[in-house]
Structure 1
Amino acid sequence: MSLDFLAGFTIFMLALIMVVSMVPGLLAGLESSGIDYDAVAYRTGVILVEDPGWPVYPPWEMNDLAHKGEIERIGLAVSKETPNILLSTKVKKFFEEGFFDQSDYRNKAIFGDIPYSYNFSLNISHPDASYELKQTGNPLPPGYGYIRRVVKIKEPAVAVIGSDSRYNDTTLNSSILRTFTVQLNFNELLDPERGPAYRIDPRTEPVNVTITDFGAYLPANDEATLQSVTFWKMDPTRPIPQFTRIPFSYDTEDSDLYILLLDEESCNLKPEKEVANTISLVLKPAATSLFTLDQNSILDIRFVFDDSPDPQRTTLNGTYLYDYDNVPLSPLKPGVLEVAIW
């Protein structure tokens, strides 16, 4: 009798344990929807502020509407090594009106099983104490799940070249072409010891070169003729390294690849146009990705001035190093990203 009781009691306890272990699963569907929305908002926030998105090189934000389908994941981080530090070019594309539609945000940022409604907002604080609000999505309902993340925004570096005696060469023969070179040494720029948040990376950020006081290099003239802007590359690790001209559509304007402004007027890279005050070039990552550059490469951007058969009118000449000594990095801007899901 005692053995029968012991066996029965054991079976009863095992059955009781199984039932108790199953109860939480049976009640899982009764949990509040707000907790689920909070979880989706949290997951979406992690994707946006801790992931750079895909593709990475060239970065997804360089795709135009015709190639929007190639974007697999929308992330705003500078890199995976820099959580909560966002790249301004990614932020601009993310909030650009008319580029992404609701299905894009749901399929490439939220990754939900159901068509969630959403609202994304980013409040950016500027050094002058002003605020900038970027927002996209639906109006907020009375109840929703949300997450807030404190972030910082990285702006691309800009090389501003004013009047500088190093590039004001008055010793050249007047018949010799003036060539002003902006040189990027990728081995120095992509130094792994420098954190991605404080790195100049032409693979993911535009290269900005602005000559603000071109008139200082026109000692006896009102303007000079910019013949061309060409790109050259060299790999110093190869035997007998030398610069070779990069094949490119120099005579075709393409704002997805570059923007060249002469006295605020847009031109192609073979303008043969007179300029008096400012020269500005923005070379975008979509262009540098076509140059097959690696960490060992050196890239030259050459501005060639030619007023022949007349004597050269400008004294601008020499090589400007696009590096951490000459190109200042902008301070990171603080901000708050809020993701709301319902």
Structure 2
Amino acid sequence: MLGDDRGQSNLDFLFGISVFLLTFLYAVTFIPGMFTPYQPGAIDLSAVAYRTSAMLAEDPGWCNSTAAGGLPGNSSWEDHQDCLLRIGLAGDRGHPNILSLNKIKALESLVASDYTLVREKMGLNGSIIYDINVAVEMNGTSLINAPWPSASSQNIESIERVVLIDTGKELFVDCNNPGEQYNSNMLNVTLNNLTSRDRDITIRIYNLTAAYPIGLAQDPIRVVSLSGNAISLPPDDYIIKLNGEVKNSTDFGFMKGDVLEITILNTAISDPIISAVNIWANSSCMPGRPVDYVYDPVFKQKSVCYPGIMRVEVWSYAFS
């Protein structure tokens, strides 16, 4: 009679069946995912979020306008939303991740008026419809306060980018340039070469040599009409900042090391057409000659950028 000396304990059986069940469950959950890329319309949300954020941060957008002359098409879609082809927030292709504040504000306005168009011009309105929420913050302040849809879907992909916000060009007036004379109480900024008056203008006065505080004169901001008449602007037509802080009155002093920014609203220089802006101080600290806002040989316009964050959220109910 043949003997059988083999045996199986309960522990061996439990170990074997556990390995089998784990392998089986892994196969059940993993194998269907292998075929997801080959299913019609199946797209990874993370890829959509990345593509959309890259388009917004690196592309200036495009419109079919001929306003600039020449062949149809330019990137100033924020000024020609009636012929918008593609939305982008970059100032130009040569400087990715530097967003234009004007384009950001145009997007805010467009979301409020036609969210479906925004989704379409971002490439999110195809065979699979995606919803989107774009937030841009600068120094902790939200720059887009628009009625984006709420993300009720549980499957949301979010991506953040560190960006710079280009707030526009300012005229930089250096009050310590050795080639200039600073013997005037008035800074006379001429606007004759300013071709577009649909945007505000900003004048930045800095590098003063005064060792004691200088003040602004009474009614310090005046505009000069084409006929030569000087008109005092009311405070609602301009914004004054000292070292980045908005001043609600002119009762303050500035001196060496301070930066004075004065923004004139576009409505104050466009109707009627204004030929110059005069900024009056109570001491001789300003250039003794007229300064051209656009083409001055010494005092130049420069872009002013601040750090910010752009956050893009994308979701689709097709993946809910």
**TM-score, normalised via structure 1 length:** 0.48
Change in 2 beyond 3 A, CA 1:321/1:93: same
Please give the alpha-carbon distance, in whole angstroms, between the structure 1 residues aligned to 2:135 and 2:221. 44
> After the TM superposition, which residues 168-187 of structure 1 pair with which residues of structure 2 at under 5 Å, given as runs?
168=184, 181-182=190-191
Equivalent position of 2:165 in the other structure: 153
Q: Equivalent of 2:53, from 45, 51, 60?
A: 45
Alpha-carbon RMSD across the aligned residues, in angstroms, is 5.0
Deviations 1:287-328 (A, max 9, x none): 9xxxxxxxxxxxxx73289xxxxxxxxx99842144684556
What is the one-letter code of the residue matched to 1:302? S
Please give the alpha-carbon distance, in whole angstroms, between the structure 2 residues aligned to 1:214 and 1:162. 17
Deviations 1:182-215 (A, max 9, x none): 4769xxxxxxxxxxxxxxxx88x94614599996
Equivalent position of 1:334 in the other structure: 308
> After the TM superposition, which residues 242-257 of structure 1 pair with which residues of structure 2 at under 5 Å, given as runs?
none
Please give the alpha-carbon distance, in whole angstroms, between the structure 2 residues aligned to 1:339 and 1:38. 10
1:303 and 2:276 matched: yes
Deviations 1:16-45 (A, max 9, x none): xxxxxxxx9987444895x43333322222
Residues 44 and 339 in structure 1, CA contact (< 8 A), matched pair in contact too: no
Equivalent position of 1:236 in the other structure: none
Change in 2 beyond 3 A, CA 1:168/1:138: same
Q: Secondary structure at the match of 1:39?
A: helix
Deviation at 1:142, TM superposition (A): 1.0
Change in 2 beyond 3 A, CA 1:179/1:49: closer
Deviation at 1:138, TM superposition (A): 1.8
Equivalent position of 1:70 in the other structure: 83
> After the TM superposition, which residues 1-342 of structure 1 pair with which residues of structure 2 at under 5 Å, given as runs?
28-30=37-39, 33=42, 35-55=43-63, 57=74, 59-63=76-80, 68-96=81-109, 99-114=112-127, 116-126=129-139, 130-132=140-142, 134=144, 136=146, 137-140=148-151, 141-159=153-171, 166=182, 168=184, 181-182=190-191, 206=199, 208-209=201-202, 216=217, 226=223, 228-229=225-226, 262-264=233-235, 281-282=264-265, 302-303=275-276, 318-322=289-293, 325=299, 327=301, 329-342=303-316
Q: Secondary structure at the match of 1:54?
A: strand
Please give the alpha-carbon distance, in whole angstroms, between the structure 1 residues aligned to 2:304 and 2:113. 28
Please give the alpha-carbon distance, in whole angstroms, between the structure 2 residues aligned to 1:180 and 1:38. 50
Bigger Rg, which one:
2
Residues 222 and 232 in structure 2, CA contact (< 8 A), matched pair in contact too: no
Change in 2 beyond 3 A, CA 1:84/1:160: closer
Determine what percentage of the aligned residue pairs are the same residue. 21
Change in 2 beyond 3 A, CA 1:82/1:211: closer
**TM-score, normalised via structure 2 length:** 0.51
Change in 2 beyond 3 A, CA 1:283/1:224: closer
Change in 2 beyond 3 A, CA 1:211/1:28: closer
What is the one-letter code of the residue matched to 1:60? W
Q: Which structure ranks higher in relative contact order (CA pairs < 8 Å, sequence separation ≥ 6)?
A: 1
Change in 2 beyond 3 A, CA 1:83/1:29: same
- Counting matched residue pairs gives 222
Query: Unpaired runs of 5+ in structure 1?
Result: 1-23, 171-177, 186-201, 231-259, 268-276, 288-300, 306-314
Residues 263 and 279 in structure 1, CA contact (< 8 A), matched pair in contact too: no
Equivalent position of 1:8 in the other structure: none
What is the one-letter code of the residue matched to 1:150? V
Q: Secondary structure at the match of 1:138?
A: coil
Query: Unpaired runs of 5+ in structure 2?
Result: 1-32, 64-72, 206-213, 239-249, 251-260, 279-285
Deviations 1:255-279 (A, max 9, x none): xxxxx99223569xxxxxxxxx899
